[in-house]
Structure 1
Amino acid sequence: MKYTTLILALCLSLSSILYAEDNTSQQLSPFQITVAYPLATHGSESLHYTNMLSLNWFYGLNGGVKGLELGTLFNYNAQDVMGLQWAGITNINGGDSKGVILSGVTNIGYGRYTGLFLSGILNYSRKGLTGVAAAPVNINTSEVEGLQLGVFNYTKNLKGVQFGLVNYVENADKGLPIGLVNIVKDGYMGVENVSGEVIYTSLILKVGMERYYTSYKFGLTQNDHQILYVTGLGIGRNVTLSDTQKLSIDLSVNQIHESSTIHESLNLLHKLDLNYKRKIINNLSFLLGPSLNFYVYDEKLIRVPYSFGTWDLGDNKANMWIGMNTGIGYSF
């Protein structure tokens, strides 16, 4: 991990040192071979050549690529790259990148990305992405028209899809972030306190957009013997009916625990909630609605009010019923 962090820091430092706006006219060359700049076919003039075939043994500094570029350590091109580019550590492109760009650690582009971009740690693009960027970390400082796939994804304007554990976007009016945590700068955040026939009280945080958000739940209930804890994760959508009325549709999976630690037995309560929201004052709303519940367990912990039946699911059993929710909500 220490070496990976060091390599990443070196790649970012190198890109900032090398990069400069370069509009120098380019000569098209059929090929170039570089051992380590300036030990190259074009010598110290290599930044003035766009190559159809570019081979860099240690590292190469070239004008651009129209075709294929392979580098053992890193490739740097002052202007545009079109075609297939691969580097063992990093690709740094000053112009637009179009095609398939592959690297072991980082892809850094100061122009627009168009195509497929795969990296072992980081994809960074300054002027936008049209296509797919896949890496643990994807950062785009303009707009994404395509897919960001990673652990952490960031863009300023999303016109496609982010899929990751943590997604951050400043404007997602025409896009969709899908992940465990979705943060939209000008998006939706709400808190609800909800009571039902099984989960007596629950605090729910909803983060994302009105048309798609992620929800996090912590609740309390009890059986004949003890207090039970509930933790849940879900997705949902708010449908605007009028200035004062909304309809929320929520799908969640909730684990029932006998203590504040994770309970070993399977006790999953799946809920589909349909709640009518009526604004009381400012951002405070009252909510009420039905819920469809499907409870899967190997040891029943909660008191089920009634059930349409009991189903055997191998080593587990299941009950299903329709219940009700009521509560209050506040949107930020």
Structure 2
Amino acid sequence: MIKKSCLLLAHLIAVSLTVEAGTAGGPEPLRTVLRSLEQAHQVHFSYSPDLIPLEREVQPPAVGESLEAAMDELCRQLPLRYMISGKQVWLRPGAGELGQLAPKVPQPRQKSPIYPLSPAEEAERQRLASIMKPIGKTAPRPLNRPGGEAYQEIDFEIYLPPPPASPANGEQVYKGDRRLAQVSILPNLGTNMERSGEITNHLSVNVLWGTNGGVDGLEVGGLYNEVINDVNGLQVAGLGSKVNGRVSGTQVAGLFNVGYGNVQGVQAAGLFNQAGQADAVQAAGLFNHSAGAFTGVQVAGAFNIIEGQGAGVQVAGLFNRADQQIQSQVAGLFNTAGNVAGGQAAPLFNKADTVAGFQVGLINISDTITGVPVGLINIVRHGYNRVDFSTGEALHANLALKLGARKFYNIFQAGLRLSDCPWQLGSGQYSWALGYGLGSIKDYGPHFQVNYELVAMQVSEGASGWGNRLNMLNQFRALGGFHGAGRRTVVYAGPVLNVTVAGQRGGDAADEGLRAPYSVWSRTGDRVALNAWVGFQAGLAF
């Protein structure tokens, strides 16, 4: 009897201690129990509210228990699994033990009853859902904590979004939904509503202004079209169109077209066209601009600019600029380019680093040219640039500056002819001449060349200054020269065909300064007298 009384007393004491430990309050929601454990043990719980039943009632662990014992008690009441890492406690449901705690399978956000999915689109959605798989599990391993206690490490199935499809891994790039058509008045005010920026449409009609994910067909806008991704087809706007991605087709707008990606096709606008890089034809009333590489044709009323590598043609009313390379440029004022594979033509001037073709303009400037620069002034940094001293029977002393390329260069010449009595210079018995000419060099061996030159000079008498009477000396020269390995200094001599054209004054002959030593041909008319003879010229160029 005494033994039974002792056992009953011990049971009552145990029940009393349990009540005092905090269980007397009855079951509580799991959310409340977790908050109490966070405060008691200074830890933080991490879990998904969609997977953990926070409102499920459980019996709270006894006060004073260790965190591991408290978590074990909760896992006994609910199918949960946990892992403790420092001050962090990770919670997840036990797989296959509680139906409502199982991970949710990703579902498409919207299935439109108006535009049913095609078999290809449905297959794409299933592909995305199938690759939403967890990271592989690792085998559990026992770990020892300081003090000799052992616990089991658990693994977590962390779900990650599927990797984006890309052409590199052979998958088809998928950009949002595709629909047959859409109609909108303003952005997000149309049949696609707030999803306008995600959906690619085969037909897009924007009454005023519309924004779409992409166009694969035709888009027409009353004022303005904006596309987030790509355009394949035709895009027409009353004011302008902007495409953030690639354009493959045609853009036509009253004011402007902008394609920030690669543009392949045609851009036509009343004011300007802009492309990231292009393989296209750009036609604009004001200007065209390509920020990257360009292949094709640019035609503008004012100017064209290519910042990247160019392999096309630029035609503009004012000027063209190609920062790197271009095939050809034609402008109403001037052209500038890095390297020119074809040619440049402009009335004012042309400038380039390397020219493999021609330059035609009043002033042509280049570092190197393998073709022909045709202009009044040709400046080639690594070309044919010489100072020339020479003498001949027509003009006794000559100074010339020759600029350009060996195939074609300009001649600026000044000459002086002394009278038969040099001591009479002070009395005005001498002639001087200023002229301009063109020349070309032909090599006939490693050290021998012939300069073919055509020069026209106006001759004036004495100190009377530049007269108003026609008095010209025209020369055609064939000057053979010898030079060293560097071809810099040349000693030359050769025949010269001289033709004078002198205005008549009351039947008088030409000026004394142009009287020929002899004549091989002559003509005298009422207004001019012509005379021709063959002379010589010799000199030094360096």
Pairwise TM-score range, normalised by the shorter structure: 0.7 to 0.9
Change (3 A) 1:93 1:247: same
Alignment match, 1:253: 456
Alignment match, 1:21: none
Alignment match, 1:323: 535
Does residue 264 (structure 1) correspond to residue 474 (structure 2)? The answer is no
Deviation larger for 233-242 or 155-164 = 233-242
Does residue 296 (structure 1) correspond to residue 493 (structure 2)? The answer is no
Q: CA deviation at 1:314?
A: 6.5
Q: Which of 226, 237, 249 is the matching residue for 2:440?
A: 237
Q: CA deviation at 1:137?
A: 1.4
Alignment match, 1:20: none
Q: TM-score, normalised by structure 2?
A: 0.50
Q: CA deviation at 1:67?
A: 2.6
Alignment match, 2:340: 143
Change (3 A) 1:25 1:269: farther
**Aligned residues of 1:235 and 1:251 also touching (Cα < 8 A):** yes
Deviation larger for 192-201 or 140-149 = 140-149
Q: Which of 270, 274, 287 is the matching residue for 1:71?
A: 270
Q: CA deviation at 1:109?
A: 1.1
Alignment match, 1:119: 316
Listed one character per residue, the Cα deviations across residues 188-236 of structure 1 (whole Å, up to 9, x for unaligned) are: 2211111111111110111122332211101112568543321111122
Alignment match, 2:237: 33
Question: Distance between the aligned counterparts of 1:116 and 1:210, measured in 2?
Answer: 27
Does residue 181 (structure 1) correspond to residue 377 (structure 2)? The answer is yes
Alignment match, 1:18: none
**Aligned residues of 2:334 and 2:350 also touching (Cα < 8 A):** yes
Asked which structure has the greater RCO (Cα within 8 Å, sep 6+), the reply is: 1
Greater fraction strand: 1
Listed one character per residue, the Cα deviations across residues 255-288 of structure 1 (whole Å, up to 9, x for unaligned) are: 2134585432222221111122234998544322
Amino acid at match of 1:201: A
Alignment match, 1:286: 491
Q: Which of 172, 191, 196 is the matching residue for 2:387?
A: 191
**Aligned residues of 2:475 and 2:496 also touching (Cα < 8 A):** yes
Does residue 309 (structure 1) correspond to residue 521 (structure 2)? The answer is yes
Amino acid at match of 1:236: G
Change (3 A) 1:115 1:313: farther
Question: Distance between the aligned counterparts of 2:415 and 2:319, measured in 1?
Answer: 38
Question: Distance between the aligned counterparts of 1:244 and 1:131, measured in 2?
Answer: 35
Q: CA deviation at 1:134?
A: 2.7
Question: Distance between the aligned counterparts of 2:304 and 2:358, measured in 1?
Answer: 20
Per the alignment, in what secondary structure is the counterpart of residue 67 of structure 1? strand
Greater fraction helix: 2
Does residue 227 (structure 1) correspond to residue 411 (structure 2)? The answer is no
Deviation larger for 61-70 or 179-188 = 61-70
Amino acid at match of 1:80: A
Question: Distance between the aligned counterparts of 1:325 and 1:94, measured in 2?
Answer: 55
Q: Which of 344, 366, 369 is the matching residue for 1:172?
A: 369
Listed one character per residue, the Cα deviations across residues 35-93 of structure 1 (whole Å, up to 9, x for unaligned) are: 3xxxx455xx4565455132142x44334362341223x322222152351222x2112
Amino acid at match of 2:351: Y
Question: Distance between the aligned counterparts of 1:107 and 1:71, measured in 2?
Answer: 14
The sequence identity of aligned pairs, in percent, is: 23
Per the alignment, in what secondary structure is the counterpart of residue 467 of structure 2? coil
Change (3 A) 1:56 1:251: same
**Aligned residues of 2:328 and 2:340 also touching (Cα < 8 A):** no
Change (3 A) 1:234 1:56: same
Matched pairs, number: 297
Q: CA deviation at 1:185?
A: 1.9
Question: Distance between the aligned counterparts of 1:27 and 1:313, measured in 2?
Answer: 75
Amino acid at match of 2:237: I
**Aligned residues of 2:340 and 2:357 also touching (Cα < 8 A):** no
Larger radius of gyration between Structure 1 and Structure 2: 2
Does residue 155 (structure 1) correspond to residue 352 (structure 2)? The answer is yes
Q: How does 1:18-57 map to 2 (within 5 A)?
A: 26-33=230-237, 35=239, 40-42=240-242, 45-46=243-244, 48-57=246-255
Change (3 A) 1:83 1:241: closer
Question: Distance between the aligned counterparts of 1:133 and 1:260, measured in 2?
Answer: 45
Question: Distance between the aligned counterparts of 2:432 and 2:493, measured in 1?
Answer: 23
Q: How does 1:4-19 map to 2 (within 5 A)?
A: none
Question: Distance between the aligned counterparts of 2:526 and 2:378, measured in 1?
Answer: 36
Question: Distance between the aligned counterparts of 2:418 and 2:250, measured in 1?
Answer: 71
**Aligned residues of 2:316 and 2:331 also touching (Cα < 8 A):** yes
**Aligned residues of 1:126 and 1:140 also touching (Cα < 8 A):** yes
Listed one character per residue, the Cα deviations across residues 162-187 of structure 1 (whole Å, up to 9, x for unaligned) are: 111111222223x2111112122221
CA RMSD, Structure 1 to Structure 2 (Å)? 3.0
Per the alignment, in what secondary structure is the counterpart of residue 455 of structure 2? strand
Listed one character per residue, the Cα deviations across residues 112-157 of structure 1 (whole Å, up to 9, x for unaligned) are: 5455422232201133222443332111112322443342112222
Listed one character per residue, the Cα deviations across residues 91-119 of structure 1 (whole Å, up to 9, x for unaligned) are: 11224445542223321012454554222
Change (3 A) 1:118 1:292: same
* Unmatched 5+ stretches in structure 1: 1-23
Listed one character per residue, the Cα deviations across residues 6-35 of structure 1 (whole Å, up to 9, x for unaligned) are: xxxxxxxxxxxxxxxxxx984224023263
Question: Distance between the aligned counterparts of 2:529 and 2:443, measured in 1?
Answer: 38
Per the alignment, in what secondary structure is the counterpart of residue 123 of structure 1? strand
Change (3 A) 1:75 1:68: closer
Amino acid at match of 1:308: V
**Aligned residues of 1:280 and 1:286 also touching (Cα < 8 A):** no
Amino acid at match of 2:520: F
Does residue 87 (structure 1) correspond to residue 285 (structure 2)? The answer is yes
